[in-house]
Structure 1
Amino acid sequence: MTSHKLNTFLEKNLTELKENGLYNEIDTLEGPNGSEITINGQTLINMSSNNYLGFANDTRLKEKANAATDKFGVGAGAVRTINGTQSIHDELEAKIADFKQTEAAVAFQSGFNCNMGAISAVMNKKDAILSDELNHASIIDGCRLSGAKVIRVKHQDMDDLRAKAKETIESGQYDKVMYITDGVFSMDGDVANLPDIVKIAEEFDLITYVDDAHGSGVMGKGAGTVKHYGLQDKIDFQMGTLSKAVGVVGGYVAGTQNLIDWLKVRARPFLFSTSLTPGAAAACIEAIDIMSASTEEHDRLWENGHYLKEGLNKLGFNIGNSETPITPCIIGDEKLTQLFSKRLTEEGVYAKSIVFPTVPKSTGRVRNMPSAAHTKEQLDQVLATYKKVGNELNVI
């Protein structure tokens, strides 16, 4: 018999979410996550994947994953600190460090695990963390887990950052102070002002942490937002994922050898979760090798991003201030946003609605994620569909 109070809580809150247009329906794909996907037998142009470079179903990555699985097995069999570190994991970490131009790197099972483990491994209740107010949920949870005092900084507001850094340092209450920010903000597509952040950090001796989940593979000719600004020797933590542009699964932190050595003995997800599968590690290595050898996919991603932005802007959609291929169409009302996304799907375009609590209330949007795998013909079809649905629902 289940708890009556639990059932009452669940039924009440699920009903409330559905009535307010905040309940998220999960769609199941019947094949790979590419430029086109199949859901319930319907083929759709896919505008909702983080698969920026089209690597998730790339033949080259699949071949490497299969070969590594044959050699090392389907799983690592243990946590990294017992006997779950295989030579393929060491090779991946060396490859990441070289790509990010840091002394060392450590791989985690996911980007979320990175933020949960890395922040709390270094920061504690004697410390303070200055955090951009639009940082990703995994950063927020990692900060909470650390026990440090968390101080919200207005989004991309350097004056507010400077004032709060000064106040926090001069209070003398904290052993260490960190500033943490996304490199690319995934809901709006804007890019962190790292040059000014570094100046403020140097003035007040702040630890710097950049979550580059949406910047790795996209910014800096693929090497990320930190590389884009040439600040590899100025940022203490470069965190990123292996599941977006890299196309596989996992996450990493890159930095000094001392930092990585410390994370390998103190980051709890690293210590208490089984390693990345050998196949995933091998596929990640192949993706990094491809990005290192050529910018072909990176350049095509940006070309497609510019093309889509220009088209949506001409149609009259509010696409915000994105500086990256991420292109939101900001609708506002949550129910209208959900309806807009539903109509797009019915017309053959899959662009998922994003509403509160992922974004602030009344800023609902349909987020478009063009990739290197999209053709111009597909993007033209997307634009034609947006025009039709936008006129139908009086959004444009």
Structure 2
Amino acid sequence: MSHTSQGWISFKRCCKVFLAAGTVVVIGDLVGGGVSRFPRAEMASKISKVEEGEGDIRERCKTLMSPPVTDIKVLEERKDAMSTRMEMVIMETQASFCKALEEVDGGTFKVDRWSRKEGGGGISCVMQDGKHFEKAGVNVSVVSGYLTEEAAKQMRSRGKVLKGKDGKLPFCAMGVSSVIHPKNPHIPTVHFNYRYFEIEEADGSKQWWFGGGTDLTPVYIDLEDAAHFHNTLKSACDKHNPKYYSDFKKWCDNYFYIRHRGETRGIGGIFFDDLDSPNQEEVFNFVKSCAKTVVPCYLPIVYKHLNDSFTPEEKDWQQVRRGRYVEFNLVYDRGVKFGLATPGSRIESILMSLPLTARWEYMHEPTKGTKEAKMLEVLRNPKEWI
């Protein structure tokens, strides 16, 4: 079968998944029309309403992997609050990505609801030892309470001037986070995280910001995959600000950097944090656009390599690269640090990002001229992919 035929089959499979997950796809625009029965203007109107988060919350909840963390009645009562709108976005992102991966793998996610006595809870969806995925996790958390002194220090170190009352800082934090570790070394690991943070200060005023990003960690370089991944993210960024992609791509390369190794974790993507301008509505819409890319930027790559053969040596190299992934997450990742510093955090969910298996070889260095050496060269010298 040609690459073109495989790509078309992958595209049709992905569209099927999008529709099954309740996501609107403008198929007519992608394949030249004739598929959609909606006139273009009417379709644009319907998409606009969905992207704005309009629609009955109870109906939207029917497509989710689990009822939301917050009681549906509470969400309905405060449907216009940013916390409600963001919770629905992260729940829908979890559902669409899980259903897409189930379509590929044939397995099912274990849905694990958990609560936190200090306030809130989460929903962890994990598929382990699947046909194609060794470990796939997609977590949602919606937590509230008071920042600890250690967590508040982390915020202040990032330039946040926070004034608590009697040493207390009420906060609300929510996000969706995913890490996928495939069995086949030719299918990359992918990570994404989109989150919202809100803090109430002593005078009753609130500080808020969004953060997140999506990045790819291949074991072997495939230029076509890298271009597809980065182009998909760039398209989402360009709808909001022509500088976003280049700025957030650089931020990603700098953030996912393993300083003690002198190499990046992967080939990047986008990353941003503490984003609170130009205004809340515009940043929220940008985050929604990014969240909608997690399936189309990754699933075509998965389908392309689904049946690639691999050698024991290639599997060993995958294990070594996973070791680097573990090192970054445990030493540098802000989300892991914040989670471990927050009382009542669920350790299983925080460490879900770690692979089932990894390898650390003493003084390991790939042979010059090999595919492994070329991969390492890219990680030591990040490049532009598009």
The structure with more strand, counted as a fraction of residues: 2
* Greater relative contact order (CA < 8 Å, ≥ 6 in sequence): 1
Normalising by structure 1, we get a TM-score of 0.24
Normalising by structure 2, we get a TM-score of 0.25
